[in-house]
Amino acid sequence: MKDMIWHPEEGDKKVNEYLERTNHAPYGVIATVAVVAFCVFTLAILLGTF
């Protein structure tokens, strides 16, 4: 039976850099959607009074 000790391999650093670049929340899109939704809601309220 082999030892259960993990040793870093050559490609690990490259894989970690790729994951750091791609695995993140799209904060820009979330903020844009929130602002647009707020503006549409406000416009609906303002136009609904007429």
DSSP structure string for 1-50: ---------TTHHHHHHHHHHH-S--HHHHHHHHHHHHHHHHHHHHHHT-
Global pTM value: 0.57
Round to whole Å and give the CA distance between 26 and 42: 25
Round to whole Å and give the CA distance between 46 and 28: 27
User: Which segments of the chain have a pLDDT < 50?
Assistant: none
Q: Give pLDDT, residue 48.
A: 93
Q: Give pLDDT, residue 27.
A: 93
Domain boundaries, the chain: 24-50
Q: Give pLDDT, residue 8.
A: 83
